[in-house]
Structure formats: C-alpha cells, structure tokens
Amino acid sequence: LEAGKTLAVPLCMGPGVMQARAVRSLEELAPAGPYGIPEPPAGAPKVPPQRLALCVLPCLAAAPDGTRLGYGGGYYDRFLPLACNAVKIALCRAALLEPVLPRECHDVRADFVLTEDALYACKGGG
C-alpha cells in the first residue's frame, strides 16, 4: 500500500466462491464468516483475477512441491485458475511443512512455499 500498489483481499461470496476486492487500508477489513477471517466490505471495488500479479495463499499445511492443505472449501482452487498469470505463494509454518500431501486433480499448487525458515521454489506449480 505504501508503494502505491493495489492490495486485493478475498471476499467470500458464498460456499466455495470468492472475489478479489481492493482495499486502501487494512483498517477496512473486518472479521467475517465462520472463521472470523478479516474481509473487505461488500462495496469494495472488484479486482479482476487476471490483473493480479501475486496471490498469497493461506494453508493448514504445505509440501515443498506446492501442494496445499486447507479447510476443504475449495475457494482458492476455484479462484486461482482465473488468476493464471499470478505468482502463487503459500504461507506455511515450518513445523507444518510435510514432505508429501495428498493432491486431487483439481488442486492448484503454489509456485512457492514460504516458511519462517525458507523459501521453496515448487517445480510444476499450478
């Protein structure tokens, strides 16, 4: 934000569906949904997924090949193919990095996995 970049944050629209919405300040975010994850207001401007350059992905666990384990809602697996040119970085605690995780054909892998100890470049991400 300080560099003048557009910050887009997910807004959950329904089960398994989210949109990228622009915010000017982190103070615009408010806890929402069953997990209390901060979201932008419903009136925040939409950002087309194709305009995203970087997607930061939350996860419960990850593997060095970019496979992510989430809550099972498929929000990111549905959204990420729309943001096809964006670099995808999964944030994962080092203690939750697993050598291998199960992966289904619709699961979208990260290009990188970032822990507090290392950055893993994932071969075949996407």
Is the Cα dihedral 47, 48, 53, 54 positive or negative?
A: positive
49-126 domain in CATH 3.90.870.10? no
pLDDT level of residue 70 (50, 70, 90 thresholds): confident
Residue 47 has pLDDT above 80, yes or no: yes
Residue 109 has pLDDT above 60, yes or no: yes
Residue 126 has pLDDT above 60, yes or no: no
pTM: 0.88
Give the start-to-end residue ranges of the domains of the chain: 1-47, 49-126
Strand segments, DSSP code E, in 29-107 are 30-32, 37-39, 46-47, 54-57, 61-62, 68-69, 87-91
